[in-house]
Amino acid sequence: MFLVFLNKLKEIITKKQVIIFFIFIFSFYFNNFYSNFGVLPLDTFFHFDPAFRIINGSLPFRDFWIVSGLVPDLIEAFVFSFIDVSWNSHIIHSSIFNGIIAVSTFIFFDKVGLNKTYSFYYAILFSILAYPLSGTPFVDHHATFFCLLSMYSFIFALKTKKNFYWSITVLLIFLSFFSKQVPASYFAILLSLTTLCYCFFIENIKPLIYSAITIFFLIILTLLFLNIFKIEFNSFLIQYIFYPPSIGEERLQNFKDFSILGFLHEFKFVLIPLGIIIFLNIKKFYKTSNFLKSNEFYIFLALLIFSTSLLFHQTITKNQNLTYFLSIILLGYVHFYLSLNNYKYKSLIINTLIISSLLITLKVHFEYNEKRKFHDLKTVKFDNSKNASYIDPKLENLKWITRDYKNNPIKEMDFIKGTLKILDNDKRKKIVITNYLFFSALLNENLYSPSRSYTLDGASFPKENNKYFPYYKEFFKKNIIKNKIEVIYLIDLDPLFVSNYLDNNCISGRKTFDKINIFEINNNC
């Protein structure tokens, strides 16, 4: 009877399905494991409180200011609703995503024609360098990986000739843009031009038709979302469309310190395989007639524009490097490309690619995953960490240690725990402004923060020298009036965060103790 069952199981489960299952499980648990080590409060909990606020009736654009991260917030809210509001649910979100993109990477290599064993190999290496660098849900990762999935979908459209992939490609770019505007914008523009070229050379406009219809429906869906949830269109435009470029203008000034040698050193693991792919395709262009009509050419363009979009974004951002996964994809594609032809020393070259990809993965793994470099924890001894359940049971399994309290995490945890107690004992309607983005969720209370986060460089809300400062100041005041706020708590931040945004007639008194500033609010604010 058991043998009959096994034979039936073999008929149902193919080798490919087993591989996909294993990749997903490995990718999920690998990310889940490393997510638990260390904290950079602003980044680690970036989607924690916003998701809690969403499931309790607040909405971005309307109730709190955001400049990016809408889609990750909504996904996080769904996960919280489906499971619970906790640290474990938080990292389940990013772990599932790591599994999805790792499986998609395997399917990508399999679709282009790489041997399944090698496809599996590169997918596993990819999963180690993808989401685990951050571990927790983060806006840049979601935006980048939705772009990556969009590139895969574009390539699947070329390979399968199935038109619905053009719609999926557009949808994934849309999800990327509403995760973060960059690199989605760069990639969307360049991929649109690539699609136009493709349609022109193959004399087929169906990709454009499917893409245009999808864009139309997505615009309608966006407008319906804003209308149903009573979000002012102007508020959405200012926060998500107009204000972010004003941040970008400041970031572009980083190029005055741009160094070619520094760029080459930073991105060498990506640039070397990308350079090989460019060289091979230029060579192919001169040797092959009608190369501009071939799928091979457009797969090359997709890889090129995704890589350059991400490299440009990474160059102007202040976040840690997350591009290392690109080296695995590009090395894997070089492997596939070389396997199609009888090159001299072909076996040696392919073995070199396999070993190189493994060595790159191990180097980045020990620097970023083991040492948690993405969260600025490279010099931290994780043996000093403490279970964050000490703060609250909802944070069970998180091994708390931060860069600023690396020698004494309990000191920071005691401060947080004490602050939570103070807030819980104060029954007044209050706003809490802090970069510990979990206070609302832990207290199970809407603390009405007017912005998701409060970065010092004005990346998350307008500062005084920004042209949208008056709008944000009005947004802040409306938040106070609408919610009948009686007191504002400013925790471990500069008091100017409040005094610059409120008129003197709004503040009736101020108390300060242990990195906490308390502002009493007048009724006639």
Closest CA to 120 of 131, 110, 130: 110
Report whether 469 contacts 484 (CB < 8 A). Answer: no
Nearest to 423 by CA among 410, 436, 411: 436
Q: Given 350, 375, 400, which residue is the final one in a domain?
A: 375
**Same domain flag for 131 and 72:** yes
CA distance 355 to 335: 12
pLDDT at 52 exceeding the cut of 90: yes
Length of the chain: 525
pLDDT of the residue at 6: 45
Average pLDDT over residues 7-20: 71
List own/partner pairs for 14-21 with CB under 8 A and 24 or more apart.
15/116, 16/110, 16/116, 19/106, 19/116, 19/120, 20/103, 20/106, 20/107
pLDDT per residue as tens digits for the range 333-344:
999 999 887 777
What DSSP letter does each residue of 452-488 carry, written as one string? S---TTSSSS--TTSTTHHHHHHHHHHHHHHTT--EE
User: How far is Cα 267 from Cα 262, in angstroms, rounded to an integer?
Assistant: 9
What pLDDT is recorded for position 262? 85
Of 43-47, 133-137, 519-523, which range is least confident?
519-523
Whole-number pLDDT of residue 13: 57
Lookup: tokens for 14: 């193919």
Residue 37 three-state SS? strand
Both 450 and 502 in one domain: the answer is yes
Instruction: Tell whether the model's pLDDT for residue 5 goes beyond 60.
Output: no
Q: Pull the structure tokens for residue 43.
A: 């980044």
The pLDDT value recorded for residue 258 is 74
pTM (2 d.p.): 0.95
On whether both 471 and 366 belong to a single domain, the answer is no
Q: What is the pLDDT of residue 2?
A: 46
Is 52 a member of any domain?
A: no
Give the pairing of strands 430-433 and 487-491: parallel
For the ranges 145-149, 216-220, 375-379, which has the lowest average pLDDT? 375-379
Residue type, 200: F
**Quick one: pLDDT at residue 303?**
97
pLDDT band at 248 (very low <50, low <70, confident <90, very high): low
Q: Do residue 313 and residue 443 come from a single domain?
A: no
Last residue of a domain, one of 354, 375, 396: 375
Together in a domain, 188 and 290:
yes
Q: Are residues 367 and 294 in the same domain?
A: yes
361 and 442 in a single domain? The answer is no
Same domain, 434 and 342: no
Q: Sorting pLDDT into bands at 50, 70 and 90, what band is 401? A: very high
Question: What is the tally of structural domains in the chain?
Answer: 2
Q: pLDDT tier at 250 (50, 70, 90 boundaries)?
A: low
Residue ending a domain, choose from 357, 375, 393: 375
Higher pLDDT, 224 or 203: 224
Rounded average pLDDT over 208-230: 97
Q: Which domain holds residue 366?
A: 2-35+66-375
Give the pLDDT of residue 255.
59
Q: Are 101 and 192 contained in the same domain? A: yes
Across 475-483, average pLDDT: 93
Distance CA 383, CA 370 (A): 13
Is a pLDDT exceeding 90 seen at residue 435? yes
The tokens of 419 are what? 């602050």
List residues bridging with 343 in a β-sheet.
none
Residue 9 has pLDDT above 60, yes or no: no
Residue with tokens 């979990």: 438
Q: What's the pLDDT tens digit per position in 21-46?
A: 999 999 999 999 999 999 999 999 99
Residue 4 predicted with pLDDT over 60: no
183 inside domain: yes
Identify the weakest region by mean pLDDT among 130-134, 236-240, 291-295.
Answer: 291-295
**Residues of the chain by 3-state class (helix, strand, coil), percent to 5:** 65, 5, 25
Residue environment code for 339-368, b if the CB has 16+ CB neighbours within 10 A, otherwise e: eeeeeeeeeeebeebbebbeebbeebbeeb
**Sorting pLDDT into bands at 50, 70 and 90, what band is 128?**
very high
418 with 313, same domain? no
What pLDDT shows up at residue 12? 55
Q: Is residue 448 part of a domain?
A: yes
pLDDT tens track for 159-202:
999 999 999 999 999 999 999 999 999 999 999 999 999 999 98
The reported pLDDT for the residue numbered 508 is 85
- Do 371 and 415 lie in one domain? The reply is no
Q: What is the mean pLDDT of the chain?
A: 92
Evaluate whether residue 106 is within a structural domain.
yes
Is residue 485, in this structure, part of any structural domain at all?
yes
d(C-alpha 308, C-alpha 182), whole Å: 12
110's tokens: 């399999």
pLDDT at 1 over 60: no
319 shares its domain with 434: no
Q: What is the pLDDT of residues 351-400, one digit of tens each?
A: 999 999 999 999 999 999 999 999 999 999 999 999 999 999 999 999 99
User: What does the pLDDT average to over 242-265?
Assistant: 75
Handedness of CA 205, 211, 214, 216 (dihedral sign): negative
> Tokens 């010099």 sit at which residue?
379
CA dist 43 and 374 (Å) reads 10
